[in-house]
Amino acid sequence: MMKFIHTADWHIGKKIHGFQLLKEQEEVYRQLVEVAVKEKVDAIVIAGDLYDRAVPPAEAVLLLNKMLMELNIVQKIPLLVVSGNHDSSTRLATGGPWYEFLNFHLVTKIEDSLKPIVLGNTQFFLLPYFEPIDARLYFGDSSLTTHELAAKRVVEEMKKSFDPNYHQVLVAHLFVAGSLRTDSETEVTVGGLDQVSASVFKDFDYVALGHLHNPNASRHERIQYSGTLLKFSVSEANQAKGFKLIELTDEGNLKNTFYPVESTKSLRVLTGFFDDLTARDYYETQKKDDYLFIQLKDTQIIPDAMNRLREIYPNVLGMERLDKTGLLSKMGQLNKEKIQQSSPRALFEKYYQEVTGDSLSKQQTDLLTTIFAQLKIEEEDQTQ
Amino acid sequence: MMKFIHTADWHIGKKIHGFQLLKEQEEVYRQLVEVAVKEKVDAIVIAGDLYDRAVPPAEAVLLLNKMLMELNIVQKIPLLVVSGNHDSSTRLATGGPWYEFLNFHLVTKIEDSLKPIVLGNTQFFLLPYFEPIDARLYFGDSSLTTHELAAKRVVEEMKKSFDPNYHQVLVAHLFVAGSLRTDSETEVTVGGLDQVSASVFKDFDYVALGHLHNPNASRHERIQYSGTLLKFSVSEANQAKGFKLIELTDEGNLKNTFYPVESTKSLRVLTGFFDDLTARDYYETQKKDDYLFIQLKDTQIIPDAMNRLREIYPNVLGMERLDKTGLLSKMGQLNKEKIQQSSPRALFEKYYQEVTGDSLSKQQTDLLTTIFAQLKIEEEDQTQ
């Protein structure tokens, strides 16, 4: 029996709309550690994108080091890790040769993916994110022009080390054709040039993937994404978040258990009319400090809406109008032609009235006059 | 007997005047490895500034990792390393907990400096570069306002762990009062606020320092800087470069042997008249691809001097005139008043003639007229 946790895409150091997530990242990590310890797993697989950026901020470096140290040195759990497209393979590789001695296997280069790490009944092949050019250079084969061809060649090479007495698990960071994307997985390639057919992986007992953030992104039972531990965008708001516990019996039977995790602050979408969302009766039923994306049904202009929402919900990430055409039609009481004919100052006065219900004071009008005169001079200078 | 190499200030990734030094850094490192292996040293001390910057370029990360791996994992030599002011203590700390298991001791925080690493007959205390504020926070003592007071407090704490059966060696990255500075050691503090009296360290058998680049910077026999392995600036051109082999007998006798190292390309200053330096008879006696700083004795204007020098000496770092007043007097044949009265175009024509010996062509004159007219418009716009 081989029992391991499959996780990926930690993106330590990621910010969403300026909000630092380190605290939440540590929270969900704790839930993973608990399961790992309780289930006495044989290994933890992290399938790439440990960091969010090639050069992560120092606090992210500190946090990830702490996490990996706790898992590997304190809890003594073998780690099987590859670099993802968000990681700098060179920077992530720091310490790698020393990690080996404590059963922390970190692979950042194709050449190191070809020889398996043997744990229990399983040969693990650790394939980092790579580009076709890397495969062309490594194999000296200029025909490897796509991710598909490159992955095929790599797997072919791996198969030479397949031992029939063991199961084979592939850890990789790539896009399997037919999987479901989310908009937060950056670097989407036009025309699907980055996709690899599932059939390439048919000889593996399990393929533990990273790259896509949805744990249900893949349709193939034995080719799975773990998904992220946190919601990283509005489009992920309805996705389950967690990791997978994989059990592979000696007979080759696979059991896949999804463990959901939850951070204190979740990422949610609130939809409604401004007056409803800001009514005490409503917001007292809400976890107000969640990361919220607000969808307003209103078609009226709402003065200072964002700041007023943030007085109630401090972690509003963003706001949008559901009925954009309705809103525009209200704003369009001045028709287009009229707008073009109006002076900037007249337009501003109109806007100010709509938003505040007040007229401009004498002082405000004077200030506006000065500002627009200054802007006009600058504009003329530039077009000279 | 304890026999160790004392080195520091590798500054991996440093560039001088845009020239990458990685190749030279690897060359001199090789010479250190050779001695370490041949002398069967018990340890290698690296007293800070392993990198040149908090976020070193990826190639620098690759090189340093390779070096440390070879020394510690391949050659199995214990490493005693502290972070310097050029290192990011957080980033450098990556891998630290794993290194411990292979006798690679990397300390980046005060708290980890207080307990010694015992090797052979010696207790090594590894003190990273730190600021007084770090000591104030760690000891909860607001009186530690200077480097002197902070270092004193740290040493006091270290002494609690002194074992009379062992010798005590301190590894640190700081400025000992009275030592000789060079201009390439950045972050020189006004008024010597960063200095620490030698007396603070009187109870150590040896103090292996980093920070200053000159191996003879300290006047104290038992408090020594190793100096850098390479020359990093013109002011270091006449310094010996290398590392120290320290032998500490069980009786406490100290032997300090300086091992010079040399890179294929050295950094040198060439002084002379332009015509002499560029004469075949002369330059054929020179190692032309060294990193050269040229000091010209000429007082004449020399057209295109830098490019002409680089045709012979490809790695010229910089050039200066020894007799600046002489040069200025030649250029001053147009006296100051006359210069102020001349039009920019007339001045440029004069300059062009002096440098090339030619007059401006019709095409060049037209181009100049256009350019100056354009510049005049832009200038007026800005002062409007």
CATH number at residue B321: 3.30.160
For residues A345 and B136, the model is more confident at: B136
Q: A65 to chain B, minimum CA–CA distance in Å?
A: 6
Q: A73 to chain B, minimum CA–CA distance in Å?
A: 8
| DSSP helix/strand/coil, B259 | strand
For residues B97-109, average pLDDT? 97
Same domain for B74 and B60? yes
With 90 as the cut, is the pLDDT of residue A160 above it?
yes
Task: Please name the amino acid found at residue B64.
Answer: L
Confidence of residue B187 (pLDDT cuts 50, 70, 90): low
Distance CA B334, CA B351 (A): 11
- CB atoms A95 and B94 under 8 Å: yes
Same domain for B342 and B316? no
Which chain B residues contact residue A97 at CB under 8 A?
65, 69, 73
Which chain A residues contact residue B92 at CB under 8 A?
none
What are B50's two structure tokens?
Answer: 């392993």
ipTM for the predicted complex: 0.80
Q: Which of A74, A98, A376 is the mutation pick for testing B, counting most B CBs within 10 A? A: A98
Segments forming the whole domain that contains residue B362:
332-384
Q: Give me the percent of chain A exceeding a pLDDT of 70.
A: 89
Closest CA to B43 of B99, B111, B120, B101: B120
Q: Quick one: residue B49, left, alpha or beta (phi over 0 = left, psi -120 to 50 = alpha)?
A: left
CB neighbours (10 Å) of residue B147?
23
Burial class (CB in 10 A: 0-12, 13-18, 19+), B213: buried
For B381, the closest of A58, A96, A381 (CB atoms) is A381
Same domain for B141 and B65? yes
Using the 8-state DSSP alphabet, how is residue B115 labeled? Answer: S
Burial class (CB in 10 A: 0-12, 13-18, 19+), A280: exposed
Helix (H) or strand (E) holding A2: strand A2-7
Q: What's the residue count for chain B? A: 384
With 80 as the cut, is the pLDDT of residue A48 above it?
yes
Same domain for A202 and A118? yes
For B61, the closest of A61, A62, A94 (CB atoms) is A94
| DSSP helix/strand/coil, A344 | helix
Same domain for A190 and A320? no
With 70 as the cut, is the pLDDT of residue A334 above it?
no
Q: Which of B53, B68, B98, B106 is the mutation pick for testing A, counting most A CBs within 10 A? A: B98
Query: What's the CATH code of the domain at A80?
Result: 3.60.21.10
Q: Which of A42-51, A57-66, A86-95, B373-382 comes out lowest in average pLDDT?
A: B373-382
What pLDDT score does B384 carry? 44
Helix (H) or strand (E) holding B35: helix B22-38
Which chain B residues contact residue A379 at CB under 8 A?
none
Which residues, in sequence order, are bridge partners of residue B259? B243
Q: Taking each helix axis as running N to C, give the angle between helix B22-38 and helix B58-69, from 0 to 180 degrees, rounded to the nearest 10.
A: 10
- CB atoms B381 and A377 under 8 Å: no
Distance CA A291, CA A313 (A): 8
What pLDDT score does B372 carry? 79
Same domain for A272 and A169? no
Q: A62 to chain B, minimum CA–CA distance in Å?
A: 6
pLDDT digits (tens, 9 = 90+) for B281-332: 999 999 999 999 999 998 888 888 889 999 999 999 988 888 766 555 555 5
Which chain B residues contact residue A55 at CB under 8 A?
55
Q: A109 to chain B, minimum CA–CA distance in Å?
A: 13
Which chain A residues contact residue B381 at CB under 8 A?
381, 384
Mean model confidence pLDDT for chain B: 90
pLDDT digits (tens, 9 = 90+) for A133-151: 999 999 999 999 999 999 9
For residues B243 and B184, the model is more confident at: B243
Helix (H) or strand (E) holding A155: helix A147-159
Which chain B residues contact residue A62 at CB under 8 A?
90, 93
Q: A384 to chain B, minimum CA–CA distance in Å?
A: 9
For residues A218-234, average pLDDT? 95
Question: First CA to last CA across chain B, in angstroms?
Answer: 78
Q: A165 to chain B, minimum CA–CA distance in Å?
A: 32
Which chain A residues contact residue B96 at CB under 8 A?
65
With 50 as the cut, is the pLDDT of residue A384 above it?
no
With 60 as the cut, is the pLDDT of residue B162 above it?
yes
What pLDDT score does B4 carry? 98
For B97, the closest of A62, A73, A377 (CB atoms) is A73
Which chain A residues contact residue B377 at CB under 8 A?
384
What pLDDT score does B327 carry? 56
Q: A43 to chain B, minimum CA–CA distance in Å?
A: 18
- CB atoms B94 and A99 under 8 Å: no
Q: Which residue of A has its CA nearest to B65?
A: A94
With 60 as the cut, is the pLDDT of residue B207 above it?
yes
Same domain for B41 and B27? yes
Q: Which residue, of A204, A227, A260, is where some domain finishes?
A: A260
Same domain for A358 and A219? no
What are A4's two structure tokens?
Answer: 């391991």
The single residue listed with the structure tokens 């006296």 is: B335
Most confident by average pLDDT, B164-173, B181-190, B298-307: B164-173
With 50 as the cut, is the pLDDT of residue B206 above it?
yes
pLDDT digits (tens, 9 = 90+) for A166-193: 999 999 999 999 888 877 675 555 456 7
Residue B274 main-chain phi, psi, to 5 deg = -50, -45
- B148, B195 contact by CB (below 8 A): yes
Mean model confidence pLDDT for chain A: 90
- Pairing relationship of beta strands A206-210 and A167-173 according to DSSP bridges: parallel
What are B130's two structure tokens?
Answer: 């730190």
Question: First CA to last CA across chain A, in angstroms?
Answer: 78
- A104, A112 contact by CB (below 8 A): no
Closest CA to A91 of B255, B95, B209, B339: B95
Task: Please name the amino acid found at residue B350.
Answer: K
- B232, B213 contact by CB (below 8 A): yes
For residues B12-33, average pLDDT? 96
What value does the CA radius of gyration of chain B take, rounded to a whole number of Å? 27
Ordered DSSP codes for A5-65: EEE----BT-EETTEE-HHHHHHHHHHHHHHHHHTT-SEEEEES--BSSSS--HHHHHHHH
Closest CA to B124 of B34, B206, B29, B239: B206
Distance CA B236, CA B128 (A): 24
For A101, the closest of B94, B96, B102 (CB atoms) is B102
CA of A257: how far to CAs of A39, A156, A210, A332, B57, in Å? 12, 30, 17, 54, 41
For residues B88-111, average pLDDT? 97
Q: Taken in order B255, B256, B262, B263, is the CA torsion positive or negative?
A: positive
- A139, A100 contact by CB (below 8 A): no
CA of A227: how far to CAs of A208, A214, A265, A328, in Å? 10, 5, 18, 38
Task: Please name the amino acid found at residue B341.
Answer: Q
For A98, the closest of B93, B102, B384 (CB atoms) is B102
- Pairing relationship of beta strands A117-119 and B15-16 according to DSSP bridges: unpaired
What pLDDT score does A331 carry? 55
Burial class (CB in 10 A: 0-12, 13-18, 19+), A10: buried
Q: B187 to chain A, minimum CA–CA distance in Å?
A: 22
Task: Please name the amino acid found at residue B22.
Answer: L
Q: Which residue of A has its CA nearest to B96?
A: A95
Q: Which residue of A has its CA nearest to B76?
A: A98
- Pairing relationship of beta strands B242-248 and B2-7 according to DSSP bridges: antiparallel
- A4, A244 contact by CB (below 8 A): no
pLDDT digits (tens, 9 = 90+) for A101-121: 999 999 999 999 999 999 999
Contacts of A250 (CB under 8 A, 6+ apart): A1, A121
Closest CA to A194 of A213, A217, A179, A177: A177
Same domain for A200 and A229? yes
Burial class (CB in 10 A: 0-12, 13-18, 19+), A297: middle
For A98, the closest of B58, B61, B99 (CB atoms) is B99
Burial class (CB in 10 A: 0-12, 13-18, 19+), B191: exposed
CA of B223: how far to CAs of B108, B181, B207, B257, in Å? 21, 15, 5, 14
With 70 as the cut, is the pLDDT of residue B171 above it?
yes
Same domain for B158 and B15? yes
> b or e along A171-188 (b: 16 or more beta carbons within 10 Å of the residue's beta carbon)?
bbbbbbeebeebebbeee
Which chain A residues contact residue B91 at CB under 8 A?
58, 61
| DSSP helix/strand/coil, B354 | helix
Distance CA A188, CA A184 (A): 10
Long-range contacts from B324-327, C-beta under 8 angstroms, 24+ separation: B326/B299, B327/B298, B327/B299, B327/B300, B327/B301
Q: Which of A91-105, B183-197, B287-301 comes out lowest in average pLDDT?
A: B183-197
Which residues, in sequence order, are bridge partners of residue A318? A293
Q: Which residue, of A243, A260, A277, is where some domain finishes?
A: A260
Same domain for A323 and A272? yes
Same domain for A170 and A117? yes
For residues A324 and A382, the model is more confident at: A324
What are B350's two structure tokens?
Answer: 């004069």
- B84, B54 contact by CB (below 8 A): no
- A274, A299 contact by CB (below 8 A): no
What value does the CA radius of gyration of chain A take, rounded to a whole number of Å? 27
What pLDDT score does A116 carry? 98
Count how many domains chain A has: 3
Burial class (CB in 10 A: 0-12, 13-18, 19+), B153: buried
For B384, the closest of A65, A88, A381 (CB atoms) is A381
Which chain A residues contact residue B94 at CB under 8 A?
61, 65, 94-95
Contacts of B46 (CB under 8 A, 6+ apart): B7, B8, B10, B79, B80, B81, B82, B210
Q: Which residue, of B213, B245, B260, is where some domain finishes?
A: B260
Distance CA A232, CA A212 (A): 12
Closest CA to B274 of B256, B294, B291: B294
With 80 as the cut, is the pLDDT of residue A287 above it?
yes
Which chain A residues contact residue B90 at CB under 8 A?
58-59, 61-62
With 50 as the cut, is the pLDDT of residue B17 above it?
yes
Which chain B residues contact residue A95 at CB under 8 A?
65, 94-95, 98-99
